[in-house]
Amino acid sequence: MLRVYLDHAATTPMLPAAIEAMQRELVRVGNASSLHGSGRAARRVVEESREAIAGCVGARPAEVIFTSGGTESDNLAVKGSFWSTRAADPRRRRIVVSTIEHHAVLDSAGWLAQAEGAVVDWLDVDEQGMIHPAQLTRLGGDDVATVSVMWANNEVGAVQPVQQVAAWARLVGARSHSDAVQAVGRIPVDFAASGLDLLTFTAHKLGGPYGVGALLARREVALTSVSHGGGQERDIRSGTFNVAAIAGFAAAVQQATANQAAESARLRGLRRRLLGGISAAVPDAVPNGPADEENALPGVVNVSFPGCDADAALMLLDAAGIDSSTGSACTAGVSQGSHVLVAMGRSDAVARSSLRFSLGHSSSQADVDSLLAALPEAVRRARLAGTLAR
């Protein structure tokens, strides 16, 4: 059975250019921190990749810190900026985060509250998943260390006003961070223009390999390391460079950003077809996320099916050869409604009835049509199973 892959927000198939870049480096030897010829050749690949990635996201090469991926980058951004800012000014013990952040940010903030005495302030979202920056002005700010608001949400696709968040953080002397894992390669992202201090993104969400990502950090921003070792990456993130993965990362970023405008237009067309088809096939389905597609990621569709157990529907679609999700892949299997949908004011029952379909570079009109053909029966059977269970 040929499978239909509609879970690009969880991970995206590798682009051929990224595979080729990795293959070239996998057959070479040389630690990029070694001084001999092989080491210098490996280091050249790392630094050329750093320059290429920086150029694609509006950053300077020295601002690119390579990590193992989005989770590590988020931890380093939130914890590292909190520690360094508090060390410079002990009054700054508050962290401001939105209620719909990825758990890498939420749990980092929660850990700092429990272990370090941080005070966490939450930014609420409206029913479309959008934060309103006016909330920030009511918080005060002379004791805020770090503000973290994701560029685009991974479950409902809501694109947030990060420039306004960064401007407020700068006004009150706090550090600003955005998890842009879902944004880079899908919508325009310019680090310098954003005004942010820190920005997270990762390779496997945009056609690169697993296990490599980056934290963009302005040179003047002090960060306390969360791990220690050989002093690589400005003594902020130690560890041997994964040269092959970094090369694949760079190739993927270059292709994804170069094709971003055309690909965004293509995916928006598929998204409209999918939403219209769901509305026709399951008339009581309720879309979640921004009503205006300009405020949403081009390839994310989140829909609630009243009375339907989403886990059951997911497995029925899986049996039909269609890959989808009930939310973030990092919380798959967790028996509770999506924290994002609950934060948007949905009941737990509604949150448990919601499926996410996310499109990417391998998605086609045929994929959308296959889902639309299988979806009504999957929802019907999932609703029936729920009724019988009660």
Q: Coil, helix or strand for 32?
A: coil
26, 265, 330, 332: the catalytic one is 330
Token reading at 386 = 């729920």
Task: Specify whether the CB–CB gap between 308 and 386 falls below 8 A.
Answer: yes
Token reading at 267 = 């995916």
Q: Residue 263 corresponds to which amino acid?
A: E
Longest alpha-carbon distance in the chain: 69
C-alpha 118/C-alpha 134 separation (Å) is 23
Determine whether 308 is an active site residue: no
Q: Residue 254 corresponds to which amino acid?
A: Q
Give phi and psi for 4, each to the nearest 5.
-100, 115
CA distances to 40, 104, 305 from 198, rounded to whole Å, are 29, 15, 37
Q: Coil, helix or strand for 298?
A: coil
Buried/exposed 260-287: b ≥16 CB within 10 Å, e otherwise: beebbebbbebbeebbebbeebbeebbb
C-alpha 117/C-alpha 323 separation (Å) is 42
Token reading at 128 = 């479309």
Torsion of CA 112, 242, 231, 197, to 10 degrees: -50
Q: Which residues are catalytic?
A: 330
